[in-house]
A and B are shown apart, each in its own frame.
Chain A
Amino acid sequence: MDAILLQLLNGLDKGSAYALIALGLTLIFGTLGVVNFAHGALFMIGAFCAVTLSKIFTLSHKATEPSGTDFLGNPKFDDVLYVKDWFGETVGAWLLDWSVPLAILFAIPIMLAIGFVMERGLIKHFYKRPHADQILVTFGLAIVLQEVIKYFYGANPIPTAAPEAFRGSFDFGILLGFDPNAIIYPYWRLIYFAFSALIIGGVFAFLQFTTFGMVVRAGMADRETVGLLGINIDKRFTIMFGIAAAVAGLAGVMYAPINSPNYHMGMDFLVLSFVVVVVGGMGSLPGAVLAGFLLGILESFASMNEVKDILPGIDQIIIYVVAIIILLTRPRGLMGRKGVMEE
């Protein structure tokens, strides 16, 4: 029982990342009808926003140490962080410690800007081209973005720490009446799950309860009619592209402490996210979220030793097996609508 609960929890954080990326992909596909292979790269850029902010906070300059000289008589130098110079000792230390959550604020404008530039500069010209062309040009863009990041940050993963307060683990077992240490779960993963639930809820609420969201939903259903009613639907879709980029970016920012960001983390997630989107049903937002969590949890159950003893290697392929079965038995995915992506 406790082992099952533990795997359920383990699946949640990976599932959250899948769900967030798949949600962004589906937003773009549902509004603009574009298959965005560069979405994984946006996730990766988000993670590197967190890296950048913590790098900015660790910028330092040399200052002579008042205590005196070293054994050769030269004055000693200390590295002094700029943040501590500007904001004082305590606030500076706090800023450094909390750099990952603070990177959320830093990442939102950057990701929105990247999204707008991408849509206006590139994607706009591909609405009328076949899906294969869209896949290819965004695939090229993904390579470019990933190489640019590699050029500036190098090829090695960069460890990025969560705030001190969340570094420990939480003993779930005691809370639920199991033995101590039966279910131990890192705080940060809990936060990641809560954060993604918040973002997913926010996106759905935005689409459901605001006028802007209503217009966007109308545009998703019938773009032409909305345009004929005198609404500039293209502009709103561009904003939705920016929001989708921001969702992917935020997923990346918060993922940085879980897995040290490296330049190809986007590609690794992209393949799985596409599988998630297709399993959920192209163009269905709830489907993407559902499939994301479902596949994340299935993956973590498949990595249990009891399961692996019966079916060796199943943890490596479970997602693909499920995807193939679903695509062949439910042609539109779990919650796909009729007429989407059917030639």
Chain B
Amino acid sequence: MLSLNKKDFGLLLVVAILTLAAPIILNPFPANSGMAQFNAGYPDLMQRFVIFGIFAIGFNILFGLTGYLSFGHAAFLGVGSYSAVWMMKLLSMNVIPAILLSVIVAGLFSVVIGYVSLRRSGIYFSILTLAFAQMSFNLAYSVLTPITNGETGLQISLSDPRILDGANAPSYPNLFGAQMNSAATVELGNWIFTFSVGYYLCAVIMLAAFYISIRVFRSPFGMMLRAVKSNQQRMNYTGLNTKPYTLAAFVISGMYAGLAGGLLASMDPLAGAERMQWTASGEVVLMTILGGAGTLLGPVLGAGFIKYFENIFSKINDNVLHGWFSFMPDGFEDFLVTVIHPFVGKGWNLTLGLLFMLVVIFLPGGLVEGGQRFGRVFRRKDRNAGSVEADAAKQRNQTAAE
């Protein structure tokens, strides 16, 4: 279906169901219980899940398939945000032109940067992309202040022209009148579910992005990109020019980043230069690796994982910890709180760094590989079973693989 094979369609379906039901799934705890702080089902956070999911899916098309490690993708995100906000200032508060322009501008920008950077590979490519991104960041802060509004960040204001909007058009980003920050709230007993317009717009766009990424992965073009990763020299010797393929991958991933930037600006019409800093580029690298580079689901998982823990972990303070361990003897409780304290709250980055190191050392394939290994533990029984049972297991696994 949708020109996907059964397995991929199943994956897309699962992702679609999970994404569309996220406001319910991510709110498993009643609003007034002590566990409510682990709820992630509020629009602001869910929007970031899917937007950074899009960013990571795009980055994965470049890094996961071709192996080119870019340290400058945040520049495209930033450019996308700026162009979206400008579109909202000049043309209309409708998000469609804003998002379209952000994708187009980021695409053009990535054609230029990619054309130059892809002349080199390996660490030189990483440094070139890093240099371009830092240049954009520094310029956005200094000389380009008329366009970017410098440190304050680019904002919309009432005096903006907005030539397409009528006199009584909504003053907040909207999709044909439906404002991005409007939401329907459903209360079921103690559970409160928020269904926000902005989230569903982002979710639908992410599903489209995910679908395109599956198609890219399964296409001859995706195969060519994988060949570049495994042995580019051999590709060149067989007479193939790999540059157009890698450049196409770079531009596609740049457009994904621009799309994510445009969506960020549509959800909250503000664009600042710090979105382009190299630490922001590092973050998308972390997401992709943590989830599993080169896998379809990995980047989305990684983005969700990092954004969830970033929000939830940083909310845990000493009082919360004392609450958890209050059933223990006093001395032991204090000891546990002291031990855990550096890793939560403001120290969340320490946990992230440690986790990231552990993943790179022990699980180079990321969370997805972890899941596969976990699954294999249960399947291992098959091999030790009797011959008849083993044959049955083999058949079963074969049909499952198809």
A: which residues have CB within 8 A of B? Answer: 35, 122, 125, 129, 131-133, 135-137, 139-144, 147-148, 151, 267, 271, 274-275, 278, 282, 312-313, 316-317, 320-321, 323-324, 327-328, 331, 341-343
Please pick, from B119, B126, B350, B361, the residue contacting A328 in the complex, using a CB distance under 8 A.
Answer: B119
Tell me which residues from 132 to 157 in chain B have a Cβ below 8 Å from any Cβ of chain A. 132, 134-135, 138-139, 141-144
B: which residues have CB within 8 A of A? Answer: 67, 69, 116, 119-124, 126-128, 130-132, 134-135, 138-139, 141-144, 232-233, 278-279, 282, 285, 289, 342, 347, 349-350, 352-354, 356-357, 360-361, 364
How far apart are A149's CB and chain B's nearest CB, in angstroms? 10
Q: Which chain A residue shows the least CB distance to B233?
A: A343
Q: Is the CB of B347 within 8 A of A151?
A: yes
Q: Is the CB of A282 within 8 A of B123?
A: yes
What 5 A-B pairs have minimum CB-CB distances, sorted nearest first?
A: A313-B143, A143-B353, A316-B138, A147-B350, A140-B357
Distance of A142 Cα from B132 Cα, bound (Å):
22
| A132: B residues at CB distance < 8 A | 67, 69
Q: Is the CB of B361 within 8 A of A331?
A: no
How far apart are A165's CB and chain B's nearest CB, in angstroms? 37
Q: Is the CB of B134 within 8 A of A137?
A: no
| A341: B residues at CB distance < 8 A | 122-124
Distance of A16 Cα from B131 Cα, bound (Å):
21
Please judge, given known A-B contacts A125-B361, A143-B353, A151-B350, whether A278 and B124 are in contact too, CB under 8 Å.
yes
Q: Is the CB of B138 within 8 A of A317?
A: yes
Q: Is the CB of B364 within 8 A of A133?
A: yes
The secondary structure that dominates the A interface is: helix
Distance of A312 Cα from B139 Cα, bound (Å):
10
Please pick, from B120, B121, B130, B357, the residue contacting A144 in the complex, using a CB distance under 8 A.
Answer: B357
Please judge, given known A-B contacts A132-B67, A320-B131, A328-B116, whether A343 and B232 are in contact too, CB under 8 Å.
yes
| A125: B residues at CB distance < 8 A | 361
Q: Is the CB of A320 within 8 A of B350?
A: no
Distance of A312 Cα from B135 Cα, bound (Å):
13
Distance of A56 Cα from B141 Cα, bound (Å):
39
Q: Is the CB of B350 within 8 A of A327?
A: no
Q: Is the CB of A271 within 8 A of B128?
A: no
How far apart are B282's CB and chain A's nearest CB, in angstroms? 7
Residue of B124, B279, B282 with highest tally of chain A CB at under 10 A: B124
How far apart are B193's CB and chain A's nearest CB, in angstroms? 35
Please pick, from B122, B134, B142, B360, the residue contacting A320 in the complex, using a CB distance under 8 A.
Answer: B134
| B347: A residues at CB distance < 8 A | 147, 151
| A327: B residues at CB distance < 8 A | 120, 124, 127-128
Q: Which chain A residue shows the least CB distance to B231?
A: A343
How far apart are A215's CB and chain B's nearest CB, in angstroms? 27
Q: Is the CB of B349 within 8 A of A143?
A: yes
Q: Is the CB of A133 within 8 A of B360?
A: yes
Please judge, given known A-B contacts A316-B138, A323-B131, A341-B122, whether A271 and B278 are in contact too, CB under 8 Å.
yes
Q: List 23 A-B contacts (CB under 8 A).
A: A129-B364, A131-B123, A135-B69, A135-B123, A137-B357, A137-B361, A139-B356, A143-B350, A143-B356, A144-B354, A144-B357, A147-B349, A148-B350, A267-B279, A271-B130, A271-B134, A316-B143, A317-B138, A323-B127, A324-B128, A324-B131, A331-B124, A341-B124
How far apart are A122's CB and chain B's nearest CB, in angstroms? 8
| B356: A residues at CB distance < 8 A | 136, 139-140, 143
Q: Which chain A residue shows the least CB distance to B354?
A: A144
| B279: A residues at CB distance < 8 A | 267
Distance of A113 Cα from B124 Cα, bound (Å):
31
Distance of A153 Cα from B67 Cα, bound (Å):
38
How far apart are A47's CB and chain B's nearest CB, in angstroms? 19
Q: Is the CB of A313 within 8 A of B139?
A: yes
Residue of A35, A122, A341, A343 with highest tally of chain B CB at under 10 A: A343
| B360: A residues at CB distance < 8 A | 133, 136-137, 140
Please judge, given known A-B contacts A136-B285, A271-B130, whether A131 and B350 are in contact too, CB under 8 Å.
no
How far apart are A314's CB and chain B's nearest CB, in angstroms? 9
Distance of A117 Cα from B350 Cα, bound (Å):
19
Q: Which chain B residue shows the least CB distance to A139?
A: B282
Q: Is the CB of A343 within 8 A of B121?
A: yes
Distance of A237 Cα from B126 Cα, bound (Å):
26
Please pick, from B127, B349, B353, B357, the residue contacting A275 in the complex, using a CB distance under 8 A.
Answer: B127
Q: Is the CB of A140 within 8 A of B132?
A: no
Residue of B127, B232, B279, B356 with highest tally of chain A CB at under 10 A: B127
Q: Is the CB of A343 within 8 A of B122?
A: yes
Q: Which chain B residue shows the least CB distance to A282?
A: B123
Distance of A137 Cα from B364 Cα, bound (Å):
10
| A267: B residues at CB distance < 8 A | 279
How far apart are A298's CB and chain B's nearest CB, in angstroms? 14
Q: Which chain B residue shows the least CB distance to A317?
A: B135
Distance of A140 Cα from B306 Cα, bound (Å):
14
Q: A271-B130, A317-B135 are in contact. List 14 more A-B contacts (CB 8 A).
A: A132-B69, A136-B285, A136-B360, A143-B352, A144-B354, A147-B349, A147-B350, A151-B350, A316-B135, A320-B131, A320-B134, A324-B132, A327-B124, A328-B119
